[in-house]
Amino acid sequence: MAKNGALKKLLIIGSGPIIIGQAAEFDYAGTQACKAIREEGIETVLVNSNPATIMTDPGIADRVYMEPLTEDAMIAILEKERPDGILAGFGGQTGLNLSMALEESGTLARLGVRLLGVNRDSIKRAEDREAFKELMLSIGEPVPQSAIATDMESCRAFAREVGYPVIIRPAYTLGGTGGGIASRDAELELLARRGMENSAIGQILLERSVAGWKEIEYEVMRDAKDNCIIVCGMENFDPVGVHTGDSIVVAPIQTLRDEEYQMLRDASLKIIRSLEIEGGCNVQFALNPENSEYVVIEVNPRVSRSSALASKAAGYPIAKLAAKIALGYSLDELKNYVTQKTSACFEPTLDYCVVKFPKWPFDKFGAASRKLGTQMKATGEVMAISRTFEDALLKAITSLEVKLEGLRVDSISRLEDGALLCKIDACDDERLFAIAEALRRGESVEALYARTRVDPWFLSKLANIVRIEKALAEQEMTVELLREAERTGFVDNEILRLSGVSRAVLQDIRIYNDIFPVYKMVDTCGGEFEAVTPYFYSCFDAEDESRVSKREKILVVGSGPIRIGQGIEFDYCCVQGVWAIKELGYEAIIINNNPETVSTDFDTSDKLYFEALHTDDVMNVVKKERPLGVVLQLGGQTSLNLAENLAKRGIRILGTQFKAIDLAEDREKLRLLLGEMGIPTPAGYSVTDEAEAFAVVGKLGYPLVVRPSYVIGGRAMQVVYSDAELKKYLEEAVSLSAEHPVLIDQYIEGRETDVDAVADGEDILIPGLMEHVERTGVHSGDSISVYPPHTLPNEAADLLVEYTRRIARRLNVVGLINVQYAWAGERVYVIEVNPRASRTVPILSKVTGVPMVKLAVAAMLGKKLRDSAYGVGLYRKMKLCAVKVPVFSGAKLTDVDVALGPEMRSTGEVLGVDKDFAAAVYKGFLAAGMRIPLEGGFYVGLRAPDQSAETAETLREYERRGFKLYASEGTARFMEKYGIKAETVRFDEVMRKTGEEICGLINVPEVANKPGSNSFDIRRKAIERGLPVLTCMDTAKAFLEAIKLKKAGVALQYRTLEEYLGDA
């Protein structure tokens, strides 16, 4: 059967903002799906509220709606577009839930839209725990003993029956939100209650714990003819008990005998057939290592994070094939994209080992518990490939950018034996390193297996790494030892540190004996067939397969794993950069290590190196390819941080040079420079003791921004308003010393504006300005920001355009530059200069139609902006308003505060677009998933600096809209002064009323992120109940716009980006 000819137009649902459990992998999947459908001549309509994605860029889908992923919006869009079908399997849980809702409400049937790739029954059977269990039992597949509960009594009864530990999973959630393992009654009470609250249908699953068993996953595909294949099997280093998103995962499966492998393969095929999925699915098993008994843990009836990983690990583009299958193709009539000759109906065989390592946000969230469990905490991941497990593992660790270059962690090697064992038992993000340390101290593999249930195979491999550490430290350096260390994955710095050999000597041994990495191809077939994919990884082996072309090449350094502060937007910029380089006639080479992204898709660049973004690894690729130059300004701070090392080694950096980068990034140097140029910037000093700090207070007065030059324990930047606060900060948050000074800056309270520009060394082009809704003091990544500025006066705008031009000119910026300004009523201050791509680049590119990255790359290669169609200076204002609203994964990290502050906490963002500010901000809040209440009560609790007339005005508006206001005693007094009625409530009353009478919080705390404080608990509770928590008065004011429109019953209009731009 060939493709279904009746399909002329299809709608694809994206996954919306990045949150923990739903990251860049869906941009990759959706982009692949759009491309696969488009090449069939079918019109594609895409809906996604996430502006940082490649999939929402012109040229991927035919019609792009950057609109909220709500049922209302979908109905309106479906009515307008009337597609023949809808692809629900590419937008994660968001896309799946939305399609289910549309199917269930009869919308799809009414409009004659077919649900492709999945059907309602199969989603139901895979996602509804009870239905799934029944299905598994009917096909003879074992599942853990379990029960469904919607009340506490049945939970207790189940625990009595099967005993502890018991696993709790809420139905219909992502990333295991609200799940956990209970080992005693009290934990059961807590987790079960929270689980029921988190579930969309108030339902949880209680399950016999198979913690400690091996966790094995299969990525399965099936077509309408019932042909099935396994794309990749994967084994978790961490046994069952740690969410697979938080586990180190290895591909292919390492420790299963063929019989065990086939037993689980057979089960996977049986399951996908029983669910009648046409496309891809992921099946997770627990396997008892003692007797090979297994149970099915979970099935994801769609492409997922695991399928993105499997696609990159095996070189088999699952989403692309899943899209083709949804169109009616069968696997055996499709070709393997990698070999282009052999069939897609086969099972990839790997001749390398792949290690995925999670990237956790604990560096940002000092207060968060690092314990890993069934609730996913990682924001992203890295992947590494090599010919041995050890090398792949060590490469993955280097790729994390946590300053680790091996298995040795100082803080862990300082632990006493007892504390070390406790650390291992704690099962946190550093368990791997603690295990390695135990091995180093002579603990046996058997003992550690008994303790951790990590398979002895993995432990022996760690022991092997430790053995070589020891050899490097104790033995004389020999060529043999160096070769072995290289093969095992030791990076240069680690070899130097352990052996004490000098870099020059190491380099000599290397050169004399020709010990350099070679590059091997990922080809899906273990070398059996010739492949054309330009997808490479390094290893220490004999043959180098990467053939270097004679063309002029440019190397783009990617942005690594998704983390807070460095999200998918930089992958967007890298991909755009690669495309621009190709268009200009050069060979585009990318080096990156994030398996979730479009940049590491094998057909994005001309050549892909899947490597750590470490100086050594980048230099090796440079040595191999001899590019014309390297682009570092697109991959965020990750790639920019390489500038110094590459510049020192004489590598040509395209665009802005290292010296300028350094000037912009060093606060002191920048302050001097701006001073010289007569551009205002907040005054600031660096202090090393309390006396010095208070001397600065004398000079600058309050409020002040304080931050350590060296971050300890995660508590970083803060705005202080009084001596007491400053003293407290200096005592609690930082350890002051000569080596670790604290930076104190004048705090400019004002309106913040982001300016992104393209510069060519002479002129600049500013596509548009984005003004923040929240005042200075809130991290720009966490601010709501608005294009075009909604309050900034023209003369201020002119001033920042002029300042940006002068700064760009002075730093000789070629390419992209981002400058953050504060406007304090009279003067404009420069807060920050980033000589690189920024979070706002994809947004501005999309809402103005100015292809910023393309112009930046052209500038780096010598083209002049004056000659482009977009001209120079400030670009014309579009007749639309776009509002970026940050999205927090507050529900995932239960011990993290949601209060806004100078430290970034959001994981993703959405864009609300409409013709005016009110509608756009309303859409932004809707897209961010904020519940917008129409009635009920708001609790108001404000710190002193915010108890102002302006605040009173906003609160009065809430009162006027019919909301009952509750307030803490102090805040109530303030409100009374302004004639606003408020019921005074105690904290315990607020706790009780939250989610009942109280439907939202307006709470500006003195200090954010202090677990244990009363207001922290209230905010947590509100977040867990899904209530709006507004922690800045400016946000509260903007939120009123949404309330007003919703109260007025305004019917929103939904348009494609092109339609909005067309009006301009």
What residues make contact with another protein under the rule CB under 8 A? 225-227, 229-230, 252-259, 261-262, 265-266, 269, 289-292, 330-332, 341-343, 345-353, 387-389, 445, 455-457, 460, 463, 487, 520, 525-530, 541-543
Of 529 and 987, nearer to another protein (C-beta) is 529
Least distance in angstroms from the C-beta of 1013 to another protein: 48
Of 449 and 694, nearer to another protein (C-beta) is 449
Q: Encoding tokens for residue 172?
A: 């219909």
**How much of the chain is in helix, strand and coil states, percent to nearest 5?**
40, 20, 40
Give one word for 2, left, alpha or beta, with left for phi > 0 and alpha for psi -120 to 50.
beta
Q: Which helix (H) or strand (E) holds 12?
A: strand 9-13
Reduced to 3 states, what is the DSSP secondary structure of residue 475? Answer: coil
Q: Reduce the secondary structure of 330-362 to three states and give it as a string.
A: CHHHCECCCCCCCECCCCCECCCEEEEEEECCC
Least distance in angstroms from the C-beta of 332 to another protein: 4
What does the alpha-carbon distance between residue 830 and residue 810 come to, in Å, rounded to a whole number? Answer: 15
Nearest Cα residue to 563 out of 765, 754, 357, 361: 361
Reduced to 3 states, what is the DSSP secondary structure of residue 578? Answer: helix
Contacts of 580 (CB under 8 A, 6+ apart): 851, 853, 854, 856, 857, 858
Of 343 and 507, nearer to another protein (C-beta) is 343
Cα–chain-centroid distance for residue 930?
A: 20
Contacts of 735 (CB under 8 A, 6+ apart): 712
Least distance in angstroms from the C-beta of 253 to another protein: 8
Residue 466 near residue 440 (C-beta atoms within 8 A): yes
Least distance in angstroms from the C-beta of 547 to another protein: 13
Least distance in angstroms from the C-beta of 766 to another protein: 51
Residue 140 near residue 186 (C-beta atoms within 8 A): no
Least distance in angstroms from the C-beta of 399 to another protein: 20
Q: What angle do CA 407, 408, 412 make, to 5 degrees?
A: 120
Least distance in angstroms from the C-beta of 350 to another protein: 7
Least distance in angstroms from the C-beta of 338 to another protein: 13
What does the alpha-carbon distance between residue 436 and residue 469 come to, in Å, rounded to a whole number? Answer: 11
What does the alpha-carbon distance between residue 986 and residue 515 come to, in Å, rounded to a whole number? Answer: 70
Q: Encoding tokens for residue 969?
A: 């005693």
Least distance in angstroms from the C-beta of 257 to another protein: 5
Of 349 and 369, nearer to another protein (C-beta) is 349
Least distance in angstroms from the C-beta of 518 to another protein: 9
Of 228 and 1022, nearer to another protein (C-beta) is 228
Nearest Cα residue to 887 out of 567, 577, 585: 567
Q: Which helix (H) or strand (E) holds 798?
A: helix 794-810
Q: Reduce the secondary structure of 381-439 to three states and give it as a string.
A: EEEEEECCHHHHHHHHHHHCCCCCCCCCCHHHHCCCHHHHHHHHHHCECCHHHHHHHHH
What does the alpha-carbon distance between residue 465 and residue 868 come to, in Å, rounded to a whole number? Answer: 54
What does the alpha-carbon distance between residue 634 and residue 612 come to, in Å, rounded to a whole number? Answer: 16
Torsion angle, CA of 548/550/554/559, rounded to 10 degrees?
-20
Q: Which helix (H) or strand (E) holds 233?
A: strand 228-236
What Rg do the C-alpha atoms of the chain give, in angstroms?
Answer: 28
Least distance in angstroms from the C-beta of 140 to another protein: 15
Of 289 and 945, nearer to another protein (C-beta) is 289
Taking the CA of residue 723 as centre, how many other CA atoms within 13 Å lie in the half-sphere pointing to its CB? Answer: 5
Residue 206 near residue 152 (C-beta atoms within 8 A): no
Reduced to 3 states, what is the DSSP secondary structure of residue 165? Answer: coil
Of 139 and 1064, nearer to another protein (C-beta) is 139
Of 463 and 913, nearer to another protein (C-beta) is 463
| Residues facing 816 on adjacent strands | 758
Contacts of 3 (CB under 8 A, 6+ apart): 40, 324, 327, 328, 329
């112009």: which residue's tokens? 855
Least distance in angstroms from the C-beta of 291 to another protein: 6
Least distance in angstroms from the C-beta of 254 to another protein: 5
Measured between alpha carbons, how far apart are the two ends of the chain, in Å? 46
Of 274 and 349, nearer to another protein (C-beta) is 349
Least distance in angstroms from the C-beta of 432 to another protein: 17
Least distance in angstroms from the C-beta of 307 to another protein: 18
Q: What angle do CA 375, 379, 384 make, to 5 degrees?
A: 110
Of 347 and 692, nearer to another protein (C-beta) is 347
Q: Which helix (H) or strand (E) holds 85?
A: strand 85-87
Of 112 and 526, nearer to another protein (C-beta) is 526
The full DSSP string for 635-667 is SHHHHHTTHHHHHHTTPPBPSS-HHHHHHHH-H
Least distance in angstroms from the C-beta of 451 to another protein: 16
What does the alpha-carbon distance between residue 107 and residue 101 come to, in Å, rounded to a whole number? Answer: 9
What does the alpha-carbon distance between residue 215 and residue 226 come to, in Å, rounded to a whole number? Answer: 27
Least distance in angstroms from the C-beta of 214 to another protein: 10
Least distance in angstroms from the C-beta of 340 to another protein: 12
| Residues facing 357 on adjacent strands | 382
